[in-house]
Amino acid sequence: MIESFIEGRLRLRSPLLKDKELTAFLSARLLAMDGVTKAEANPRTRGLLLEYDKDLLPLERVKRAAPMLERLSALEKLPAPQRRPALSSLLDELKAMLLE
């Protein structure tokens, strides 16, 4: 799921990201998090580029939260109607962890 990860930038790739509506929801929710400056999705490549302010979200905190992003791949196995609620729950957990 995490294709690359350097301080201030994270690139995700997943078949889940081919769903334009779900990808737009994910991008919007990520952008609503303090410190996230960019969440640019590309459904054609099934990728998402996430950039964040490394002063607001220190590397150690993002590293602790990164495994949660890996859990996105489990959502691929869910029936389509269950994906958005599961994604919403996962993003709530991610936000809480980043705010710790």
Q: Quick check: 79 pLDDT over 80?
A: yes
pLDDT score at 88: 96
pLDDT digits (tens, 9 = 90+) for 27-60: 999 999 999 999 999 989 999 999 999 999 999 9
Q: Quick check: 69 pLDDT over 90?
A: no
Domain 2-99 fold is Alpha-Beta Plaits (3.30.70)
Three-state SS sequence of the chain: CEEEEECCEEEEECHHHHCHHHHHHHHHHHHCCCCEEEEEEECCCCEEEEEECCCCCCHHHHHHHHHHHHCHHHHCCCCHHHHHHHHHHHHHHHHHHHHC
